[in-house]
Amino acid sequence: MGEIGKIVQAPEELVAPVNVPAEAYVSPEYARAEVDRLWRKVWLQAGRVEDIPEVGDFITFDIVDDSVVIVRASETQIHAFHNVCPHRGRKLVDVPPGQRNARGNRRTLICGYHGWTFDLDGANTYVEHRDDWQGHLCAGRADLGKVRVETWGGWLWVTLDPQAMPLAEYLNPAATMLDPYGLQNMRPRWRKWVVFECNWKVAMEAFCETYHVSTTHPEFMEFGQFRGWARNQGLHSNIGYEAPKGQEEDSGKLRLGAGEDPRMTTADMQNFTWANANTNTTMTLVGVANRLKDELPEGTPAAEVSKYWIQTAKAEDAARGVVWAQVDPLHTAQAGTAWQIFPNFQIGHAVNNMLCYQARPYGTDPDKCIFEAAVYELWPEGEAPQTEWEYTEPADWPPVLQQDFANMAAVQQGMKNVGFRGAQPNPYMERSVASLHMNLAKFMGTGAPKTY
């Protein structure tokens, strides 16, 4: 393997091969240190704005020992509070057994221990026998602790650090590159979560590169041989595919099948994707793909098949009130197919749908995580389904994701092997892995990648 060189400190140094030590994945001490050094310092995606449409609607968000309750206080105001009563420390809102988080509607938050009551602005409105405190329950001592909350892309974002940079600055340049896709207009088609047997980083890294596709998902190679790339983007990173000339839109999620007859292979790929991944496409795209053999003559060049397929699907969606985002092909090529938002959220974007992953620690156990995936798309006004987070056992997820799960569990075990000498990500196709650990080290003070 050669001698390990200097610690990587700048994005341009990620172009070279690096070694990532296993400490961040398997060390119990590292997992405990993440609480103060990482999770209490960053912005975290905590839910969707549409989850709290009415005044009094709330959701909770947990990260290790910390819990936040997010409430809609008025038509224009959203507040977030530490989910803990300032009296004796009881959690204000409990998560129902087997649920990902709590969700409901209340005009007041009442502690179930002694009845202390708070309004939607977090102010204490009732304390039984308040006079016993001799006037000292003032100056906010009896109010809920506030948590910073902002919105972007249709998501609710929270940070436990009062001194954290503004969300817009934190998300740069990801937000700028993703804004044209109108992610806030999409609604979830399904949302699944599971407690999984791997570190949260192993889970995120299973989806932040395309190098694994030919081996883990060989079925997809029948439909195309697009080479993938990954790029550092400050705190964040993004990935994408090199598309053939004339098919620049295919560098996004609207993927044309390869083969002698692109009419047929496109339909094959769309049907396989819908049945086995249940994401990265829509029923409109699948339906038009299945008609290509009837609506285009045999021998139609691939670029023309791609153009017809996309334009026809776009027009059919527009007729039913679904308007795709208009994104310049050059922007599409730069934006790629997915962004990794530091530290633990991935947005797989397209002009009419998206696939998002998030992983959180399961307590401070380095060998477990809470893994989540959600598929979003555009819907006619008022027709989006009302989806809930569904706990789904690994064997019941779509088959393509089960293939990824097999890797995740095996990687977690393999990294504990005395013979494992650290990860060696592909400098071109897996640069997002090295980028994550370079940025993690800035917070954690350890575990930075090193060049050879």
Over residues 271-284, the pLDDT tens digits come to 999 999 999 999 99
Q: Answer whether 152's CB lies under 8 Å from 167's CB.
A: yes
Cβ contacts of 276 within 8 Å, gap of 6 or more: 219, 398, 399, 400
pTM for this entry: 0.94
Alpha helices in 111-261 (DSSP H): 167-171, 174-178, 200-205, 213-216
- Domain at 8-42+181-451, CATH from 3.40.50.300, 3.30.930.10, 3.90.380.10, 3.40.50.1220: 3.90.380.10
> CA nearest 224: which of 288, 305, 129?
305
Q: What is the pLDDT of residues 19-42, one digit of tens each?
A: 999 999 999 999 999 999 999 999
For the cut 60, the answer to whether the pLDDT of residue 248 exceeds it is no
For the cut 90, the answer to whether the pLDDT of residue 139 exceeds it is no
Q: What is the pLDDT of residues 93-129, one digit of tens each?
A: 999 999 999 999 999 999 999 999 999 999 999 999 9
Domain 44-163, CATH homologous superfamily name and number: Rieske [2Fe-2S] iron-sulphur domain (2.102.10.10)
Burial of 50 (0-12, 13-18, 19+ CB in 10 A): middle
Average pLDDT of the chain to the nearest whole number: 93
**Amino acid 1: pLDDT:** 43
Which run of H or of E encompasses 267?
helix 262-276
**Amino acid 216: pLDDT:** 81
Please state the domain extents for the chain: 8-42+181-451, 44-163
CA 419 to chain centre: 32
How far is the C-alpha of 56 from the C-alpha of 73, rounded, in Å?
6
How far is the C-alpha of 314 from the C-alpha of 308, rounded, in Å?
10
For the cut 80, the answer to whether the pLDDT of residue 255 exceeds it is no
- First vs last C-alpha separation in the chain: 8
Backbone phi, psi, residue 125, to 5°: -115, -10
Confidence band for 305, pLDDT divided at 50, 70 and 90: very high
For the cut 90, the answer to whether the pLDDT of residue 2 exceeds it is no
Cβ-based neighbour number of residue 282 at 10 Å: 22
For the cut 70, the answer to whether the pLDDT of residue 254 exceeds it is no
Q: What is the dihedral of CA 160, 152, 195, 209, to 10 degrees?
A: -110
Q: Per-residue pLDDT averaged across 345-371, rounded?
A: 97
